[in-house]
Chain A
Amino acid sequence: MVSAENPILYKAQIFLFNKYYTGLLLHKQTDSLTSHLVFVTEVGMKMFDIEIQKDSQKMAYCFGPMNKPKITNLLENDMGAILLYPLLNKTAKIYINKKQGNTLYVTREKGKKYLYFTQANSGRIAKSLVRGKLFTKQKTVYKYGTDNLPESVSLKHKGLLRLRIKLNRIITTKTND
């Protein structure tokens, strides 16, 4: 559970077009309806800050050279996708695979089909796919450790807007003074 007291920190690698960024991605709840995803480089420079609410994601800050509508939209949507926001508050078709013990949730929106596969015998999402009319646009894979928060997340966005995100969770002691 993400909260103000328990923010989550990931080591992040972001491949955006032909650029490669690394740093730390922090997810923190700021109030009951809002959380923030902040990406900071190793040397301490904030690259972006996405404010996430129940039904929307918006770029609260984006570092100058990256601050272009196509890039900010891509980051907002894909970061929201990592947090499974397209699945929240939606009605999904549910398919249960009794043999494998997992479940598939399917939603549709704006001509796209969203598929969410759970792990076997678990409610945790293991993989999500976003399919357009012709091909898969986005694939996200989640791996877990001992709790319900992913140890690692890998997202690949195909097409003209190429984006790859790799996240690896960092377990830290509280850093606030």
Chain B
Amino acid sequence: MRKQLLYILICMLSVSIKAQTGFKAVKDTVSLKEKINHISKETNSLESDFVQVKTLSMLSEKITSKGHFCFKKDNMLRWEYVSPYTYIIVINKDKVLIKDESKLKKYDMNSNKIFKEINDIMISCINGNILSSNKFKIAYSENDKSYRLELTPLVKGMKESLKKIYMYFDKGVTSVIKLEMVESTDDFTVIDFTNKKVNGDIPAEKFILK
């Protein structure tokens, strides 16, 4: 469960396009990093619909889930699946809440090393520190439609199960548009973000589960 959260939070701020080709190395990485840092600083809230497609390579099977996510600075996140069934994960500062049907589970972020790490990753994504993180090796590339950040996990525990994370930004570097996570088994998960709303008003109730 905690490992899942780690995935979610990485996903939230990432992007992917499996089929995109023709990427070449970015020449001016300093400028791209500055742009990413800038949008991170300027984004106080973010919400979006998402479609998540899990591809089980060996079985040639895809599992599709849909939902909505909300984020609000400093440390509030709601990741809500509506299809194929309802499942909600909320992070509200130092609390992690999970609602599965009528069951509500609560975890204390600070009492748990893994949750703490998840939280740190999330915050570092928002404030741009992920770009200088020693937990990933990052390669920057681009094609005519998007920038791609290729994150290779360096941390033991993560790199055994996760081979790569690809984050895609639109060419204007206004937001993350897709995420792809490639597992060690070559299964992969693609999350497409649509209907994004940046710096809209998100009520505090969204980050409370009862």
Whether A22 pairs with B54 at a CB distance below 8 angstroms is no
Q: Which of B11, B65, B185 contacts A46 (CB 8 A)?
A: B185
Q: A40-B54, A44-B54 are in contact. Are A176 and B84 (CB under 8 A)?
A: no
> Which residue of the partner chain A has the closest CB to B59?
A28
B182 to chain A, nearest CB (A): 11
B114 to chain A, nearest CB (A): 10
Judge if A9 is at the interface, Cβ distance under 8 Å.
yes
Task: Mark contacts of A1-40 with chain B using CB atoms, 8 A cut-off: 1 yes-contact digit, 0 otherwise.
Answer: 0000001010101000001111010101010000010101
Q: How many contacts between A and B, using CB within 8 angstroms?
A: 86
A152 to chain B, nearest CB (A): 13
Whether B185 pairs with A42 at a CB distance below 8 angstroms is no
Judge if A146 is at the interface, Cβ distance under 8 Å.
no
Judge if A45 is at the interface, Cβ distance under 8 Å.
yes
Whether B85 pairs with A170 at a CB distance below 8 angstroms is yes
B61 to chain A, nearest CB (A): 6
Whether A64 pairs with B161 at a CB distance below 8 angstroms is yes
Q: Which of B58, B63, B189 contacts A9 (CB 8 A)?
A: B63
Judge if B81 is at the interface, Cβ distance under 8 Å.
yes
A44 to B162 CA separation, bound complex (whole angstroms): 12
Whether A176 pairs with B4 at a CB distance below 8 angstroms is no
Q: A11-B84, A43-B11, A63-B161 are in contact. Are A26 and B61 (CB under 8 A)?
A: yes
A99 to B4 CA separation, bound complex (whole angstroms): 50
Judge if B160 is at the interface, Cβ distance under 8 Å.
yes
Whether B1 pairs with A43 at a CB distance below 8 angstroms is no
Q: Which of A11, A13, A63, A176 contacts B61 (CB 8 A)?
A: A176
CB-contacts of A132-149 with B (<8 A) = none
Whether A46 pairs with B84 at a CB distance below 8 angstroms is no
A28 to B3 CA separation, bound complex (whole angstroms): 26
Whether A45 pairs with B56 at a CB distance below 8 angstroms is no
Considering residues A43, A61, A65, A177, which has the most beta carbons from chain B within 10 angstroms of its beta carbon?
A43
User: Which residues in B have their C-beta under 8 angstroms from that of A170?
Assistant: 84-85
Task: Mark contacts of B47-62 with chain A using CB atoms, 8 A cut-off: 1 yes-contact digit, 0 otherwise.
Answer: 0000011101011111
Judge if A172 is at the interface, Cβ distance under 8 Å.
yes
Whether B87 pairs with A22 at a CB distance below 8 angstroms is yes
Q: Which of A44, A60, A64 contacts B181 (CB 8 A)?
A: A44
- Would you mind naming 21 contact pairs between A and B with Cβ atoms under 8 Å apart? A7-B59, A9-B84, A21-B1, A22-B100, A26-B56, A26-B63, A28-B59, A30-B58, A41-B7, A43-B4, A43-B8, A43-B11, A43-B79, A44-B52, A44-B54, A44-B65, A45-B183, A45-B189, A46-B187, A49-B185, A175-B64
What are the 3 tightest A-B residue pairs by CB atom distance, in nearest-first order?
A44-B189, A44-B54, A41-B4
